[in-house]
């Protein structure tokens, strides 16, 4: 197979029966066409448009077509470029994080908590730092929920304490201690300069410092820009990305905290939960 020709038919089959190697699709199968957008810190003129095409060429788009350019103030220009790439996608090498716990109904979650804990499961949630976007945390915690599912407030065996937006990490730790939280949910939507990463690592470090070993609550972070599989690096137990529903979070809580065979957890150096 000649990888330089984006129109050459695919060969090889993936484990699912489809092709193991694919290319982007634009006007016809295998043409490698993609569309990208970006902003350059230059005013909108012919030179700026030439700079955009130069960048597209360095990114491997050949040929590249500038389909949109618009001034964003006097010193910035927004571009949309359409072009063909020769890069391949090898599906057999794609790595995904599969859900390792069953999805339960609200009734099953409540029953599991009653049997395992014999008391309500306490969840404290907040948007930390300067993040004022409560849509994500409210979608999981508030009774109105998200995507047709009721939020955690709907569950009779879950006590929810929603602290809202712009909560300082020391305040979150103190409230979690007061409420004797089993789990702490942190939502991060603002991601400029990796604020979501810095805030989350700061939060996890503060909880490890404030709690004795083996008694740290379950730490969960969620937001649209978190990458799957980064929980260990951030020092938390679980990362939830965009599209997460309240039922998924409730099922995970039961999976980790509601199983009496698992016992209390403590946070290890890898960010995973270990038997105490």
| Contact by Cβ (8 Å): 218, 272 | no
- Among candidate residues 107, 115, 144, 242, the one labeled active-site is 144
Phi, psi of 176 (to 5 degrees): -60, -40
| Contact by Cβ (8 Å): 50, 65 | no
| Contact by Cβ (8 Å): 85, 64 | no
Instruction: Enter the tokens of residue 154.
Output: 């709907």
Tally of residues, the chain: 276
CA dihedral 253, 227, 176, 276 (to 10 degrees): 60
Whether 180 is a known active-site residue: answer no
At 77, is the secondary structure helix, strand, or coil?
Answer: strand
Cis peptide before 162 (omega within 30 of 0): no
Identify any residues that bridge with 238 across adjacent strands, giving them in sequence order.
220
Q: What residues are labeled active site?
A: 144
């Amino acid at each position: 197979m000649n990888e330089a020709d984006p129109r050459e038919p695919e060969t090889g089959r993936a484990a699912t029966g489809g092709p193991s190697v694919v290319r982007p699709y634009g006007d016809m199968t295998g043409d490698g066409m993609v569309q990208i957008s970006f902003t350059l810190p230059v005013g909108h003129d012919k030179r700026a448009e030439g700079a955009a095409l130069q960048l597209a060429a360095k990114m491997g788009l050949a040929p590249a077509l500038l389909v949109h350019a618009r001034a964003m103030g006097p010193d910035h220009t927004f571009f949309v470029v359409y072009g063909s790439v020769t890069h391949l996608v090898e599906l057999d090498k794609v790595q995904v994080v599969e859900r390792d716990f069953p999805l339960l109904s609200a009734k099953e979650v409540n029953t599991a908590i009653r049997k395992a804990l014999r008391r309500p499961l306490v969840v404290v949630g907040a948007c930390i730092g300067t993040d004022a976007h409560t849509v994500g945390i409210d979608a999981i915690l508030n009774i109105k929920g998200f995507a047709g599912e009721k939020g955690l407030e709907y569950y009779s065996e879950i006590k929810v304490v929603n602290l809202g937006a712009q909560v300082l990490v020391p305040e979150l730790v103190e409230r979690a201690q007061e409420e004797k939280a089993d789990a702490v949910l942190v939502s991060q939507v603002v991601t400029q300069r990796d604020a979501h990463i810095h805030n989350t690592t700061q939060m996890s470090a503060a909880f490890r410092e404030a709690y004795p070993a083996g008694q740290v609550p379950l730490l969960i972070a969620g937001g649209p820009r978190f990458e799957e599989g980064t929980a260990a690096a951030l020092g938390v137990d679980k990362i939830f990305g965009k599209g997460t529903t309240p039922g998924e979070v409730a099922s995970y809580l039961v999976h980790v905290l509601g199983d009496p065979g698992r016992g209390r957890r403590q946070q290890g150096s890898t960010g995973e939960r270990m038997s105490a």
